[in-house]
Amino acid sequence: MNKQPGTQIKLTNVSIVRMKKGGKRFEIACYQNKVSEFRSGVETDLSEILQIEQIFTNVPKGLVAKKDDWTKCFQTDDLNKAIEEILRKGELQINNLERTHQLSSLSREIATLVSEMTVDPNTNRKHTVGMIEKTMSEIGFSVKSDKPAKPQALELIKKLSTEENTTLPIRRSRMRIRITMSNKDAKKIKDQLLKEVDEVEEDLMDMDWEAIVQISPGAFRTITDLVNNETKGKGRVEVMGNV
């Protein structure tokens, strides 16, 4: 294989990673989906990631970078080390068709997470993924391709949970838990615990205190830590399901 500068190498079905360094542009040609596998640590074999083990100045035109340029900019004459830096820090170039598909896939992932984490407060039933996607479009929710689905799902839940929202009634799914502890311990921390609770179903005080309550998932750790610490591990918190 001729690796001399100026060599014309035509590649198809390619993902390009581009990086500017030392005032020069460098590109590498990768197989689709392999860049994300490299960045997540799933794939480390460069021969599985790269369509050709070479650094370019322009992949579509097949223009190979001069060795003097990349060795100077990357401070190494090890081609693999320079390529790995481009893979880690470079910008993945996505064409319009790929970008549309990626955003559509991400949008559905966000809607699926919202459906799993919430219910309609009027019926306690989950909204369908399709209904949530329709609402995202109606309120102009902007899906960001460079941000993971979960934080975007939480952002959407927050937006839809406001009183101003009339498009789709929504609230976070609650955990239903049973809290049990001695009467003596309950007198110390009962009020503190109930501040973390959304709804009390049962509250029975006898030799022991037992309560069945509904809480937001975010409050579970606070409640379990409080019960364990204050009762020296004698109190119990049992998950009974979601509502």
Q: Which of 78, 93, 108 is the last residue of a domain?
A: 93
3-state secondary structure the chain: CCCCCCCCCCCCCEEEEEEEECCEEEEEEEECCHHHHHHCCCCCCHHHHECCCCCEEECCCCEECCHHHHHHHHCCCCHHHHHHHHHHHCEEECCHHHHHHHHHHHHHHHHHHHHHHEECCCCCCCCCHHHHHHHHHHCCCCCCCCCCHHHHHHHHHHHHCCCCCCCCCCEECCEEEEEEEEHHHHHHHHHHHHCCCCEEEEEEECCEEEEEEEECHHHHHHHHHHHHHHCCCCCEEEEEEEC
**5 pLDDT exceeds 50?**
no
Tell me: the pLDDT tens digits for 32-77?
Answer: 778 888 988 888 999 999 999 999 999 988 899 999 999 999 999 9
**In the structure, what pLDDT confidence band is assigned to residue 107 with cuts at 50, 70 and 90?**
very high
Q: Which of 66, 93, 120 is the last residue of a domain?
A: 93
**In the structure, what pLDDT confidence band is assigned to residue 10 with cuts at 50, 70 and 90?**
low
Give dist(CA 70, CA 88) in Å, integer.
Answer: 16
Structural domain contains residue 5: no
Structural domain contains residue 1: no
Give me the pLDDT at residue 11, please.
58
Give me the pLDDT at residue 93, please.
84
List the CATH number of the domain containing 217: 3.30.70.240
**95 pLDDT exceeds 80?**
no
Q: In whole numbers, what is the pLDDT of the chain averaged over residues?
A: 89
Total domains in the chain come to 3
Structural domain contains residue 201: yes
Give me the pLDDT at residue 3, please.
44
Tell me: the pLDDT tens digits for 193-207?
Answer: 999 999 999 999 988
Structural domain contains residue 31: yes
**226 pLDDT exceeds 90?**
yes
Mean pLDDT throughout 158-175?
86
Mean pLDDT throughout 87-106?
83
Residue 100: give the domain boundaries: 96-172
Q: Which of 172, 197, 217 is the last residue of a domain?
A: 172
List the CATH number of the domain containing 76: 3.30.1250.10
Give me the pLDDT at residue 195, please.
94
**15 pLDDT exceeds 90?**
no
List the CATH number of the domain containing 101: 1.10.10.900
**102 pLDDT exceeds 90?**
no
**187 pLDDT exceeds 80?**
yes
One domain for residues 163 and 226: no
